[in-house]
Amino acid sequence: MLVGAAHIIVVMNNALPTDILNFFAKYKESFNQLDGVAVASLYRVPSVIVDDANYTIWDTYEKIENNMMTLCEIYKQHKFQQTDFQINQFILQNENFAVVDMRWTISHTDSSPPNVFNTTYNIQKIDGEWKVNLVTAYSEKRLKKIDSVQR
């Protein structure tokens, strides 16, 4: 089944809940509009991002917002056109916690090849809204870390 260009998969007989799919559709659309403030609003405080080289704790909303605004600016400078995702794996731990692993594809307005990478999100429903707790960026070797911006 295809919903808004994001694939729904079934893991352990559970389909990805619509509210989680809608959360990631909003996440994607925020990046597609290069709106770092909107992306940041989808994270909880504190939140964490980890990759091969760094373990970063964002302990204030301002740190999250500054990072996402800078990341959007970097994407813009690198001829960002749009991003899309495909769900690889999904675990609904209970009604308030989930882990979602996805494959992202970032296309560009020039002839640059797309950036394709996988990221895992640990999300939590807080006051009825999903928020990112932890991001594991485990396959972004082609995307260089610029000015300590985390993806």
Give, for all 151 residues of the chain, the pLDDT tens digit: 334 444 444 444 458 899 999 999 999 999 999 999 999 999 999 999 998 888 999 999 999 999 999 999 999 998 999 999 999 999 999 999 999 999 999 999 999 899 999 999 999 999 999 999 999 998 865 455 444 455 4
Q: Is 32 helix (H, G, I), strand (E, B) or coil?
A: helix
Q: How many residues does the chain have?
A: 151
> b/e string for 112-133 if b means 16 or more Cβ within 10 A?
eeebebbbbbbbbbeeeebbbb
What is the pTM (predicted TM-score) of this model?
Answer: 0.83
Task: Quote the strand ranges of 8-42, DSSP E.
Answer: 10-11, 14-15
